[in-house]
Chain A
Amino acid sequence: MEKRATFSMGWLGFAFILPQILLVFTFFYWPTGAAMYWAFTLERPWGGGNEWVGFDNFRQIFADRAYWGSIIRSLMFAASTAILSMAFGLLLAVACDRGLKGYQAFRTIFVWPYAVVAPAAALAFRFIFAPEAGIFASLVKAYPEFWNPAQNGYHAMAMIIICYSWKYAAYCFIFFLAALQAIPRSVIEASALDGAGVLRRVFDIQLPLITPTFFFMLVISITDSFQDSFGIVDVMTDGGPGKATELLVYKIYFDGFRGLDYSGAAAQSIVLMLIMMVLTFFQFRYIERRVHYS
């Protein structure tokens, strides 16, 4: 018979989880609850009264064409940054895992971008991409229409996607490298003996074996791109030109904290939460099926 340690007193178990519950309650359920309440009222920023308005706030944001544009842009941003950063992180991880020359040094260097805080990275990239001052300046002198993120919305979007992916690729790199190094060397060596080349080994052995990590990174990077993109947008474009880089999270910040429209921002954050829940649900429902946990 299996031996189990059990606590006869129910309150003791509860006491053990109490700190955790308190933390989760204070930092998650309580703010979410407050946001829920604000989303259905009109909250005055300095207090002193709020009025119940039912679904008015939601009706208003869904009736706004600019809001739908913002949803589409956020989805595009999530998809592009997930693909770019994962592809790039994976490429670097495979190269490092192969033990190419100088890989010890690169292994450390490739992680650094993740340690750079988003606004600092954004400042650097803003300079790099500035059409009149940065590295692009000489190119722009020759072909003026080639690059102008200050006026062309697509250029501005490309700019924030690249900046975000640069930073996030480092994060992907850590996880992919760890996953690759967990694959038993014997498997790789056996296939090498059988005459499999580098690419063949990557596609037939390494990638299939790290699909759980792959799936994990996909979920995390999509969720993160909805939240972490804020600092980069704020420094690089302020949501402009026009509304071309106004992502959902930036709009929440602007309407709520700068515009003092607390209720509108609360409603938007509820919507953002729902979007992320739906996206994650679909990923688990349809993509996880193809993942093989060993």
Chain B
Amino acid sequence: MKSKLLATVAALLLAATASASSAERVKFEMWHGLTGDLGGVVDQVCKRFNDSQADYEIICTSQGSYDNALQNAIAAYRAKKNPTIVQIFDAGTLDLLLSEAYVPARKLMADNGYKINWEDYIPAISNYYANSKGELNSFPFNSSTAMMYWNKDAFAKIGKTEAPKTWEETFDSLKALKSAGYECPMAWNYDTWPIMEQFSAINNIPVATKGNGYQGLDAEFAVNKGKYVDIIKTLKKGYDDGLVKIKTPDTGATIVQAFANGDCQVMLSSIADHGTVGKTQKPDMQWDVAILPTLAGVERHNSLVGGASLWALQGKSDAEYKGAAAFFNFIAQPESALFWSTNTGYIPVTKSGFEFMKSQGFYDKAPYKGRELAIASLNASPVNENTRGIRLGGFVQIRKEMRDALTDIFANKVSVDDGLNSAVERSNAVLRKFEKTYAGKMLP
């Protein structure tokens, strides 16, 4: 009887030590907002990291969308059950930046003994996620920028072999396409990202005072004057003349679908859609991407980075932070950049990653050719006050106010000036409320 008991205890002890040795890997969590194909690639990145070393195990969980990742991370953080790493999209950056909820990227890497060459990051990308001293607070992960997608077959019909370089030229081409019998020269979905945010950086005009908000929370939104009014008026006129067609899920097709199936000949969209268009396009359709147009006579500046970055959140153990640092170091390697960009439409975020991909001949091959233009777009000029990014509170609401105004403008419910004025007025109310919420807080 006694010996039986002893045997059981011994067996239990053995089992315990066995599981202890396999649990030696420090586990930590990452929450992200990507799903479908992209979510699958994130899982592969995590698996590659886990296979590359024996000390840490990252557990990656998709939260369904960028919004959900942000909301769930906030709820979890407030309940002190947050993951070590969370992916936050561009418009969610400022709230996190003003909180005490994160560990700055630079501090995390320094504390854990990693030497990262911070100068290696493409300036247009690093400035977006950096503090006022230019130090990165989070790791750029999936980065993109807006591009012009154009149908080469259609442009050949109007005698063009290159994409238009200015807005003026663009509208001339759209007119020619219309005359050549194309029903939908350009597709648009009320998205302000290409025609307001990217437009501002490329043409070097601010969207808000105080250096687009980088110098203080008392910035005022200012897209109701000058070139913004002109470009919206041009778009509206293009819409009235049948050059621009609205394509949203409500009408039956998104702009990406409308472009890929050959219905619409031009669209402005993220470089991240490059893969989708390639996979879903009408067979044999010839198309390409080009840098977004500038206004005539304006010197081209760099475009803005979109997408999301990875943040290390507070309240975790040193061991977990070691793991997080190892993971960030892993994804910063050029090989990881190649893997990530090959399997998604996103661009490499470091100069060395880009050079490595070029040296591997990545951009020479058919499905990926053209994506190097996104880097060219981000590198078009040194980054300045108007082109480093937009740091405005409540930016999700501001985007919606703009979108609502544009919808009303295009439905002839308000004039361009009135619509933009009221959107700016409402956006400023959002900004003032945000400023009051963070009263006494300084931008780091």
CB within 8 Å of B: which residues of A? Answer: 42-48, 51, 53, 60, 66, 126-127, 130-134, 137, 148-153, 156, 236-237, 239-243, 254-255, 257-261, 263-264
Q: In the complex, which residues of chain B have a beta carbon less than 8 angstroms from the beta carbon of A259? A: 394, 396-397, 400, 430
In the assembled complex, the Cα of A103 lies from the Cα of B433 at a distance in Å of 58
Q: Which residues of A contact B253 (CB under 8 A)?
A: 132-133
B37 at the interface (CB under 8 A from A): no
The interface residues of chain B, by DSSP majority, are classed as helix
Q: Contact at B252–A132, with CB atoms within 8 Å?
A: yes
- Least distance between B239 CB and chain A CB atoms (Å): 10
> Are A47 and B101 closer than 8 Å at their CB atoms?
yes
Known: A48-B99, A255-B397, A259-B394. A152 touches B433 (CB 8 A): no
Of B246, B252, B426, which is in contact with the most chain A CB atoms at under 10 Å from its CB? B252
Cross-chain contact A243 with B404 (CB below 8 angstroms): yes
Q: Which of B67, B396, B405, B437 contacts A44 (CB 8 A)?
A: B437
Q: Are B252 and A130 in contact (CB under 8 A)?
A: yes
- Whether the pair B95, A260 counts as a contact (CB closer than 8 A) is yes
- Bound-state CA distance A236–B410 (Å) is 19
Scan B229-254; emit 1 where CB is below 8 A from any A CB, else 0.
00000000000000000101111110
Please determine whether A242 and B408 come into contact, CB atoms closer than 8 angstroms.
yes
Within the complex, what minimum Cβ distance (angstroms) separates B238 from chain A? Answer: 16
Given contacts A47-B78, A151-B246, contact A254 B400 (CB under 8 A): yes
Q: Cα distance A153–B407 when bound, in Å? A: 10
CA of A133 to CA of B250 in the docked complex: distance in angstroms?
9
Kindly report which residue of chain A lies nearest to residue B257, judged by CB atoms: A133
Flag if B433 contacts A45 (CB, 8 Å). no
| Other-chain residue from A53, A130, A148, A257 in contact with B67 (beta carbon distance below 8 A) | A257
Set A47, A53, A258: member contacting B396, Cβ < 8 A: A258
Interface residues in B, total, Cβ within 8 A: 40
Which of B67, B96, B410, B439 is within 8 Å of A46, CB to CB? B96
Q: Which residues of B contact A260 (CB under 8 A)?
A: 70, 74, 92, 95, 394, 396
Residues of B contacting A240 in the complex (Cβ-Cβ under 8 angstroms): 250, 403-404, 407
- Tell me, in angstroms, the Cα distance from A132 to B187 when the chains sit together: 14
Distance in Å: Cβ of B428 to nearest Cβ of chain A: 13
Interface string of B365-403 (1 = CB under 8 A from A): 000000000000000000000000000001011001001
Q: Determine whether the beta carbon of A47 is less than 8 Å from that of B77.
A: yes
**Cα(A94)–Cα(B436), bound, Å:** 58
A242 touches B407 (CB 8 A): yes
Contact A237 B250 (CB under 8 A): yes
Q: How far is the CA of A48 from the CA of B403 in the complex (A)?
A: 32
Residue of A nearest to B247 (CB): A132
Contact B252 A60 (CB under 8 A): no
B437 smallest CB distance to A (angstroms) = 4
Listed by A's residue number, 7 A-B pairs whose Cβ atoms lie within 8 Å are: A133-B251, A258-B396, A259-B397, A259-B400, A259-B430, A260-B92, A261-B397
Which residue on A lies nearest to B71, using beta carbons? A257
A47, B411: Cα distance in complex, Å: 41
Nearest A residue to B434, CB-CB: A261
Structural contact, B252 and A137, CB atoms closer than 8 A:
yes
- Roughly how many angstroms separate A127 CA and B400 CA in the complex, as a whole number? 23
Cβ-neighbour of B101 out of A46, A149, A152 (below 8 A)? A46
**Contact between chains at A130 and B74 (CB < 8 Å):** no
Alpha-carbon distance between A255 and B396 when the two chains are bound, in angstroms: 9
Complex interface: chain A residues within 8 A of B70 (CB) = 260
Q: Nearest chain B CB to A140's CB is how many angstroms away?
A: 10
Residues of A within 8 A of B248 (CB): 150
**Residue among B250, B413, B433, B436 having the largest count of chain A Cβ atoms under 10 Å:** B250
